[in-house]
């Protein structure tokens, strides 16, 4: 479909809690417009959108998917987003690419946690919103109760433009309050319906609901308010215009209803979207930065303006290659050509523009301002990057960032897996920017960080399926440190070995004491030539080597001061190596005599939670040996600032989700090292005894 006018484009994102039926609604929208060859079903594993094996296995989206359809001379782009908070980055990215957030609410379950969160994000983004009450055919479906929940939990501006006709098994269609007609849907899931008069038993309810709608629309404009007060009603044209204005400003949040699995209400939703919801041309111009002058630059939604676009999703297909999905914000992108990536300061060429329908794509002639399109096989471009006309560069605002909060160590199962893992992980990070790869040099482990446990598990599944890399997930090793609390005086370190010919001989005497906060310090106090000057650095070198190995439990040693006070040497048998060994042995003895202790990393955490969870979360932090530093109000939520040991936070992400029913989130960063309590230190040391014994035998 070659659309050249942004006013004939609608970009609709489907958002809401996991299991509310977003993907099923997307399938119904596309099937009603005959844009897909079949009416896909998530339950039957025939979805046109959820096609990844991990999605089919879980019967839920793990990434955003794009489809489109033609409807009454309009192009409607539909973006289906994951409802699982583990994959919320795609939800946040989709909010930047659409002009209408359609929040899907189950008529059985009402407003759930992720519904609330996505609605809040859409509100913060000043995005026009509507609510679709789904699953009206299910047992215990209750439109009135769900509407009351929506008004209380999401927005008092929510107002029905449709009410259901029948309920549960008898649900057969909707009453259009704008036209005051009953839309009875056919039972063949085609999405077709016939217009009827409103049934007599629903006349009073429909009139009351329409009055509430007209009242809400009239309140959005002074002229409409005056007309409404004078006449008691608005004309169909005034009602339509006022509704569109109200949706655009957020003053009116229309509520529709239906059943996505029976395809009741999808086609009437398409009618409403193209008739009353904003086009890209109705939204404010996007504001970016000129990379040359750093001045603000407006890019209006005009096909004749300089071209600018932003990537909001990257798919790395092992057969097709990289697919870059973007929204064109201004100008027109042709079927082939060259664009500048101002984010990475590179130039990219492409030979074909594509339209995406789930996993399938087809050539597109062009993409005008407001449209969504795809390019295959870009080399450098990734999610969040700005693409633009090389002659008129601009950098568009960054996509929202989501920091990973949980980390696991990856253990390749075979040598072949070990060889492949780095390249495979980097490809997955191209596709999913919320993943982070790290390396624990001390433990020799590859670390993978993500938003939650399910996020990590899905990544490991994809690692095996797409790149044939099989790994085990292990908790990362805590980077403990060793130090001393006491002092040791005049400790001898002696290395003597005679095996025929030239022997090995070196003796040193050292003092050891704490040096908290100042790292390792070596002081030469040798007088009278007890150790030749050229061997004194050897003692220091031997001690430094032992610092990295540890003594008490095999962890690196920090914050100690060593004084070299005396020693002995042999004219023939003394050597650099001999004094290195003497320094190492003397240091180990002194360290164990100076009240060794373990230090553990302590993290700063900021936890955002609903107010009713504050007590439970603070209690949980205390149980984790944490310390609450303060509690602040943040909108409807509370923000708790605290510190807790890293070892106590390895499972904090799923535990917080459980405590807050999924409504809590947190960030974490390193603060400082602190002493491990004696009873816990004993357990850590006991676990390290075997390793230390092996090292001593090697010496």
pLDDT tens per residue, range 268-301: 999 999 999 999 999 999 999 999 999 999 999 9
- N-to-C CA span, the chain: 75
pTM of the predicted protein model: 0.81
Residue 453 contacts residue 406 (beta carbons within 8 Å): yes
Per-residue confidence (pLDDT) for residue 664, from 0 to 100: 85
pLDDT tens per residue, range 177-229: 999 999 999 999 999 999 999 999 999 999 999 999 999 999 998 889 898 88
Residue 411 contacts residue 472 (beta carbons within 8 Å): yes
Q: Average pLDDT for residues 547-569, to the nearest whole number?
A: 94
Per-residue confidence (pLDDT) for residue 294, from 0 to 100: 93
State the chain's mean pLDDT as an integer.
92
- Quick check: 690 pLDDT over 60? no
**What stretch(es) of the chain map to CATH 3.30.70.870?**
406-471
* β partners of residue 357: 360
Note the helical H segments in 530-596: 536-549, 576-593
**What stretch(es) of the chain map to CATH 3.30.230.10?**
482-594
pLDDT level of residue 174 (50, 70, 90 thresholds): very high
pLDDT tens per residue, range 608-621: 888 899 999 999 99
Q: Which CATH code, of 3.40.50.300, 3.30.750.80, 1.20.120.140, 3.40.50.10470, is assigned to 6-197+242-282?
A: 3.40.50.300
**What stretch(es) of the chain map to CATH 2.40.30.10?**
286-388
- The highest-level CATH class for domain 599-679 is alpha beta
Q: Average pLDDT for residues 651-667, to the nearest whole number?
A: 86
Per-residue confidence (pLDDT) for residue 80, from 0 to 100: 97
pLDDT tens per residue, range 288-341: 999 999 999 999 999 999 999 999 999 987 777 899 999 999 999 999 999 999
- Quick check: 535 pLDDT over 60? yes
Distance CA 510, CA 494 (A): 11
Q: Which residue in 235, 208, 212, 211 sits closest to 223, CA to CA?
A: 235
Q: Average pLDDT for residues 44-66, to the nearest whole number?
A: 92
What angle (nearest 5°) sits at the alpha carbon of residue 125, between those of residues 75 and 372? 25
CA distances from 650 to 453, 474, 481, 624 (A): 11, 11, 18, 11
- Quick check: 692 pLDDT over 60? no
**What stretch(es) of the chain map to CATH 3.40.50.300?**
6-197+242-282
- The highest-level CATH class for domain 406-471 is alpha beta
Per-residue confidence (pLDDT) for residue 608, from 0 to 100: 87
Q: Average pLDDT for residues 510-522, to the nearest whole number?
A: 95
Does 3.30.540.10 match the CATH number of domain 482-594? Answer: no
Distance CA 344, CA 201 (A): 63
Helix H or strand E segment including 224:
helix 222-231
- The number of beta carbons lying within 10 Å of the beta carbon of residue 630 is 8
Residue 447 contacts residue 335 (beta carbons within 8 Å): no
Torsion angle, alpha carbons of 284, 332, 98, 189, to 10: 140
* β partners of residue 632: 639
Report the CATH superfamily, name and number, of domain 286-388. Answer: Translation factors (2.40.30.10)
| DSSP strands (E only) in 475-548 | 481-484, 488-497, 504-514, 521-524
Longest CA–CA separation in the chain, Å: 117
Distance CA 403, CA 88 (A): 11
């Amino acid at each position: 479909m070659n659309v050249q006018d942004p006013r004939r484009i609608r970009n609709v994102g489907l958002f809401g809690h996991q299991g509310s039926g977003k993907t099923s609604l997307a399938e119904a929208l596309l099937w009603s417009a005959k844009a897909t060859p079949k009416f896909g079903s998530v339950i039957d594993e025939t979805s046109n959108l959820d096609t990844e094996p991990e999605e089919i296995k879980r019967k839920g989206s793990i990434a955003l998917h794009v489809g489109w359809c033609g409807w009454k001379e309009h192009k409607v782009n539909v973006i289906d987003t994951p409802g699982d908070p583990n994959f919320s980055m795609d939800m946040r990215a989709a909010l930047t690419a659409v002009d209408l957030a359609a929040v899907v609410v189950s008529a059985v379950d009402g407003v759930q946690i992720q519904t609330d969160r996505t609605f809040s994000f859409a509100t913060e983004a000043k995005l026009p919103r509507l609510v679709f009450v789904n699953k009206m055919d299910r047992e215990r479906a209750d439109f009135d109760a769900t509407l009351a929940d929506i008004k209380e939990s999401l927005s008092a501006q929510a107002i029905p433009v449709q009410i259901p006709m029948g309920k549960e098994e008898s649900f057969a269609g909707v009453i259009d309050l704008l036209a005051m007609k009953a839309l009875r849907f056919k039972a063949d899931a085609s999405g077709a319906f016939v217009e009827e008069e409103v049934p007599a038993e629903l006349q009073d309810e429909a009139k009351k609901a329409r009055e509430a709608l007209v009242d809400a629309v009239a309140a959005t404009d002074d002229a409409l308010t005056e007309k409404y007060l004078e006449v008691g009603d608005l004309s169909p044209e005034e009602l339509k215009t006022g509704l569109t204005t109200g949706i655009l400003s957020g003053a009116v949040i229309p509520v529709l209803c239906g059943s996505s699995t029976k395809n009741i209400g999808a086609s009437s939703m398409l009618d409403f979207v193209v008739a009353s919801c904003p086009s890209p041309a109705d939204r404010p111009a996007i504001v970016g930065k000129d990379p040359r002058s750093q001045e603000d630059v407006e890019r209006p939604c005009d096909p004749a303006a300089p071209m600018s676009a932003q990537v909001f999703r990257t798919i790395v297909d092992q057969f097709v290659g990289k697919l870059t999905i973007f929204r064109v914000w201004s100008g027109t992108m042709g079927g082939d050509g060259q664009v500048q990536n101002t984010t990475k300061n590179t130039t990219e060429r492409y030979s074909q523009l594509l339209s995406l329908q789930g996993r399938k794509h087809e050539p597109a002639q062009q993409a005008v301002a407001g449209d969504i399109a795809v390019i295959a096989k870009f080399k450098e471009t990734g999610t969040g990057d700005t693409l633009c006309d090389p002659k008129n560069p601009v950098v568009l605002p960054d996509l929202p960032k989501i920091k990973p909060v949980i980390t696991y160590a990856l253990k390749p199962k075979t040598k072949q897996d070990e060889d492949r893992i780095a390249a495979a992980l980097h490809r997955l990070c191209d596709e999913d920017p919320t993943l982070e790869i790290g390396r624990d040099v001390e433990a020799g482990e590859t670390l993978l960080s993500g938003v939650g446990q399910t996020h990590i598990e899905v990544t490991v599944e994809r690692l095996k399926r797409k790149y044939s890399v099989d790994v085990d997930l292990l908790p990362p090793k805590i980077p403990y440190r060793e130090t001393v609390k006491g002092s040791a005086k005049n400790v001898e370190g002696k290395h003597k070995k005679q095996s025929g010919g030239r022997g090995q001989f070196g003796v040193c005497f050292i003092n050891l004491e704490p040096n908290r906060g100042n790292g390792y310090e070596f002081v030469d106090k040798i007088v009278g030539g007890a150790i030749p000057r050229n061997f004194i650095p050897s003692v220091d070198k031997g001690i430094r080597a032992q610092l990295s190995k540890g003594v008490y439990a095999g962890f690196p040693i920090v914050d100690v001061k060593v004084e070299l006070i005396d020693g002995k040497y042999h004219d023939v048998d003394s050597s650099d190596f001999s004094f290195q060994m003497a320094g190492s042995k003397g240091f180990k003895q002194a360290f164990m005599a100076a009240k060794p202790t373990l230090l553990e990393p302590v993290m700063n955490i900021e936890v955002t939670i609903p107010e009713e969870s504050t007590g439970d979360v603070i209690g949980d932090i205390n149980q984790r040996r944490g310390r609450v530093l303060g509690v602040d109000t943040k909108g409807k939520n509370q923000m708790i600032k605290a510190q807790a040991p890293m070892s106590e936070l390895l499972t904090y992400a799923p535990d917080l989700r459980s405590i807050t029913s999924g409504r809590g989130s947190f960030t974490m960063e390193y603060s400082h090292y602190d002493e491990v309590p004696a009873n816990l230190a004993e357990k850590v040391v006991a676990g390290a005894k075997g390793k230390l014994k092996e090292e001593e035998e090697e010496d």
